[in-house]
Structure formats: C-alpha cells, structure tokens
C-alpha cells in the first residue's frame, strides 16, 4: 500500500534530485508567475459525515417529481429493475472495456448479442459493439463513407438533431470534408460521398426516402423500430440506445451504434465481437476485424475511438432480452399512442400540431412558448423543449399516463 501514501519530504527530495531540480518551486519556474494561481479558494476541510450531510442537502434541491414530456434525443422510458442489478455486478462493471479481451468472455458475449440485436432491428448485416453516442456515430459514418467512396463531400439533412450537426461539423472540419446541409432531399448526389438523414427527424416527422446514387446513411430512433419498418434501403444505419433501458440522467451518458452492409465491414469504426470455437470445440468470443489504432491497423485505423460504451450496451442488451419482442413492441405502441392522443386533445384546445406523420414526438405552434411552458411547469409538468418563440417540441413515452395527458391539457 505504500504506493498510495502521501510522499514525505525525503521522498520529494529524492524525486527532485532525479530530475536535477532543487525544489518544487524550481520545477515550475518556466511557468510565468502571472499564469499561476496564488491560492485555491477552497473551504476548510470537513469530516466524511459532514460531507454526506452537505451532499444530501444539495441533492434535495433537484426536483425530480415533474411529469416529463421532454424528448429531443433523451427520453423518459420504463427501465426494468433487474437491469441495474445485473449491470452493476463486478464481473461486468470492472471489465466493460477489456484490453485483454479474450479473458472477458461474458463481456464479449454481451457485445456479440448486442450486435445481433441491432442487426435484427435495423435490417443491416453487421453492427459494431457500440459507439460513444449517436452524434459521434453520425460523424464517424460520414468519415466511413468518405473512405469507401474516395469522395470528399457529405450531404446532411438540416433536420438532424442540432447536437449531432455540431459534432459532424467538428469532425468534418478536422478532416477537411465539405459538408452541405439540405432542406429537401437532394436529387443529384453522384458527386457526394454520402447522404445522411434522420428518420424520424429531430422534429418527429416520419418520411419515406428513395435510395440516392451514393452511400445512404440513416440515423434512427431505435425504439421506433418496434413498430416502424427498418431502413432496409440504407447502406449505414446509426443511432442511440438511450431508449433501451438507459436513464435520462440529466442528459447522459448515452451510447451509439453503427450498423452497415457486410461489404463495408472493414471500414467500420469501433469494436466488433465475433463468435468462434476454442481448442476443445466450445463456443468462444473474441474481438475480430481489428481496425482500431492500438491494434494491427495502427496508422491505417478507421477511427481513433479507443473504447466503447459496452456497459451501456449491456444495459440495452438486457433491456431487449427482458422485454422481449412483445414488450418492446408494446412500449413503442404506447409511446406513439400517447403522443397522438396528446396531439388530438391539444387540437381540441386550439393548439396546432405542425407534423403530419410522427411516432412519439411532434411540434406545436403556440402564441408564446415561454408562457405556455411556464403555465405547465407551475402545475408540475415539463411541457417540452422550446424551439422558438412560437414552437415547442413535445415527446410522449409509455411512462406518460392518460392522467398525465389530461393534466397537461387542463393546465393550459
């Protein structure tokens, strides 16, 4: 345990001597005095018991009793209690990013099952074992398309989640890729590496797209695939798994995925788990087709992603396993039903829904967004996300009851 003890003066002097410095002050002499902090303005130290009381006092300021109709990429979904019980077991919690992967057979099997489930949902041939989130999955899919097509231009829908667009702009700027944003689906796409759309889009609208003359990337709400057809015309499908058993947690962390056609497999970023047999003929799992920079590809790596969100991927896998096809479909159906019931009841109040076709998220037009949302908040309801002075984005899930919907409407 001595490695974890505070260094005494003798040890400090020995360390300084090894680098030819006489004092700690000399160690930092190249840093200008004006750039240094004179003191850290910290409170006096308190005991652990006092710290616990102070944290509990601060925690009580968080009001978690609101009825939520927020969406925009993070959703209030039902999470079976068994998920956290399994995911928090030390066998998973301590090996979620296995750097000696074949030792972690349980984690690798979960990755493999996750990939299988994503392929079944999206209609794609192959999936990776999660990515950081949907935003990075979108950006990495563009980089992937550029590598495949040898073209340097991406066409991106401006109805993509604004957070995803920011990440795309950063990635593409750093890689000198031209990005053009479109309102209506482009007709001439031959000179582009890819076309990227979100369906349902950020505003909840569901659309049908024709396959463009280039790589077609579709960003999906994976929970919508419980009742909507998968985007089989796509070449690459990306998205987020937050709706699969992951709490809202003030906006994160999330996990993304990237699935594609088999012919593009070797250009996929991130990790890919495979199943084989060991020397005794028993099933065995391993990381395969290594395209990451710390493995065989090195400077030819497809991405600088050096980890994945396997622990969150585990939660998503457990969620789909526990709910099953019937439960997953039921949750999607209830989400859509609640959203449409709310839209219809708002229409009876004279509140217009902008969308024509939507899954569980839609935009309304009001006289004053701030007044509209403030009135709801005063009644214990987070009514949606303000888009502008007259538009609000509303989401409903299976967690919203008919009583919640009636309270929403009656509060106006």
* Residue 317 contacts residue 114 (beta carbons within 8 Å): yes
Q: Which of 315, 302, 269 is nearest to 79 (CA)?
A: 315
Question: Quick one: pLDDT at residue 100?
Answer: 65
Distance of alpha carbon 242 from alpha carbon 143, whole angstroms: 23
Would you say residue 375 has pLDDT above 90? Answer: yes
Q: Which carries the bigger pLDDT value, residue 382 or residue 38?
A: 382
Residue 115 structure tokens: 């990939």
Question: Quick one: pLDDT at residue 1?
Answer: 42
Q: What is the CATH number of domain 82-317?
A: 3.40.640.10
The enclosing H or E element of 134 equals: helix 134-149
Half-sphere exposure of 103 (CA within 13 A, CB side): 9
Share of the chain above pLDDT 70, in %: 93
Question: Quick one: pLDDT at residue 270?
Answer: 84
Q: What is the pLDDT of residues 305-320, one digit of tens each?
A: 656 688 899 999 999 9
The enclosing H or E element of 336 equals: helix 310-348
Query: What mean pLDDT comes out for the span 324-345?
Result: 97
> What mean pLDDT is reported for the chain?
91
**Domain range summary for the chain, segments of one domain joined by +:** 67-78+323-410, 82-317
Tell me 298's DSSP state: G
Q: What is the CATH number of domain 67-78+323-410?
A: 3.90.1150.10
Residue 90 pLDDT class (50, 70, 90 cuts): confident
Query: What mean pLDDT comes out for the span 391-397?
Result: 98
CA-to-CA separations, 257 to 10, 53, 129, 341, in angstroms, rounded: 52, 40, 7, 31
Strands (E), 153-214: 153-157, 178-182, 194-198
Query: What mean pLDDT comes out for the span 14-43?
Result: 87
Q: β-pairing, 385-386 with 381-382?
A: unpaired
Neighbours of 37 (CB within 10 A): 6
Rounded CA Rg of the chain = 25
* Residue 290 contacts residue 87 (beta carbons within 8 Å): no
- State pTM to two decimals: 0.86
Measured distance between the N- and C-terminal CA atoms of the chain, rounded to whole angstroms: 63
Distance of alpha carbon 25 from alpha carbon 101, whole angstroms: 44
Phi, psi of 136 (to 5 degrees): -70, -30
Half-sphere exposure of 340 (CA within 13 A, CB side): 11
* Residue 155 contacts residue 192 (beta carbons within 8 Å): yes
Neighbours of 83 (CB within 10 A): 21
CA-to-CA separations, 221 to 89, 233, 335, in angstroms, rounded: 29, 16, 12
Would you say residue 164 has pLDDT above 70? Answer: yes
Q: What is the pLDDT of residues 107-158, one digit of tens each?
A: 889 999 999 999 999 999 999 999 999 999 999 999 999 999 999 999 999 9
Classified as helix, coil or strand, 169 is helix
Q: What is the pLDDT of residues 285-305, one digit of tens each?
A: 988 887 655 555 566 777 766
CA dihedral 340, 369, 251, 142 (to 10 degrees): 80
Query: What mean pLDDT comes out for the span 364-384?
Result: 96
Query: What mean pLDDT comes out for the span 252-265?
Result: 94
Q: What is the pLDDT of residues 185-229, one digit of tens each?
A: 999 999 999 999 999 999 999 999 999 999 999 999 999 999 999
Query: What mean pLDDT comes out for the span 167-180?
Result: 96
Residue 72 structure tokens: 């925009």
CA-to-CA separations, 369 to 75, 81, 303, 373, 374, in angstroms, rounded: 21, 36, 42, 6, 8
Distance of alpha carbon 9 from alpha carbon 7, whole angstroms: 7
Would you say residue 99 has pLDDT above 80? Answer: no
Lowest-confidence region among 23-37, 189-203, 340-354: 23-37
Unique residue bearing structure tokens 């209030």: 76
Phi, psi of 144 (to 5 degrees): -65, -45
Angular region, 166: left φ>0, alpha ψ -120 to 50, beta rest: alpha
Residue 108 structure tokens: 């690798």
Q: What is the pLDDT of residues 41-79, one digit of tens each?
A: 888 889 999 999 999 999 988 887 899 999 999 999 999
């Amino acid at each position: 345990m001595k490695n974890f003890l505070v260094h005494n003066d003798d040890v400090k002097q020995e360390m300084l001597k090894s680098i030819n410095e006489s004092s700690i002050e000399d160690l930092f002499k190249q840093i200008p005095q004006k750039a240094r902090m004179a003191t850290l303005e910290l409170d006096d130290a308190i005991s652990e018991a006092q710290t616990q009381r102070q944290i509990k006092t601060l925690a009580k300021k968080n009001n978690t009793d609101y009825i939520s109709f927020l969406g925009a990429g993070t959703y209030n979904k039902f999470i079976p209690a068994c998920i956290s019980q399994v995911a928090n077991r030390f066998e998973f919690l301590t090996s979620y990013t296995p750097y000696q992967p074949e030792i972690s057979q349980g984690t690798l099997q979960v990755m493999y099952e996750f990939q299988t489930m994503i392929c079944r949902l999206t209609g794609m041939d192959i999936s990776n074992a999660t990515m950081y989130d949907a935003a990075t999955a979108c950006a990495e899919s563009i980089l992937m398309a550029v590598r495949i097509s040898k073209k340097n231009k991406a066409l991106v829908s401006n109805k993509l989640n604004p957070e995803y667009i920011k990440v795309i702009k950063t990635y593409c700027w750093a890689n000198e890729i031209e990005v053009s944003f479109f309102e209506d689906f482009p007709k001439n796409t031959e000179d582009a590496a890819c076309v990227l759309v979100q369906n349902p889009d950020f505003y909840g609208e569901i659309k049908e797209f024709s396959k463009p003359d280039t790589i077609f990337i579709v960003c999906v709400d994976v929970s919508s695939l419980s009742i909507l057809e998968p985007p089989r015309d796509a070449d690459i499908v990306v998205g987020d798994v937050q709706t699969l058993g992951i709490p809202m947690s003030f906006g994160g962390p999330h996990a993304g995925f990237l699935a594609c056609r088999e012919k593009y497999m070797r250009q996929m970023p991130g990790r890919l788990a495979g199943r084989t047999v060991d020397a005794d003929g028993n099933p065995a799992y391993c990381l395969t087709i290594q395209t990451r920079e710390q493995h065989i590809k090195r400077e030819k790596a497809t991405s600088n992603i050096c980890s994945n969100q396997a622990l969150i991927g585990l939660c998503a896998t457990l969620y789909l396993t526990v709910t099953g096809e019937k439960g997953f479909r039921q949750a999607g159906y209830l989400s859509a039903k609640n959203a449409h019931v709310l839209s219809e009841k708002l229409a009876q109040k004279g509140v217009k829904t902008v969308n024509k076709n939507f899954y569980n998220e839609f935009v309304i037009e009001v006289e004053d967004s701030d007044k509209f949302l403030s009135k709801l908040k005063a009644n214990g309801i987070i009514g949606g996300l303000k888009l502008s002075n007259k538009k609000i984005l509303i989401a409903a899930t299976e967690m919203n009851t008919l009583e919640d919907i009636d309270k929403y409407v009656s509060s106006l």
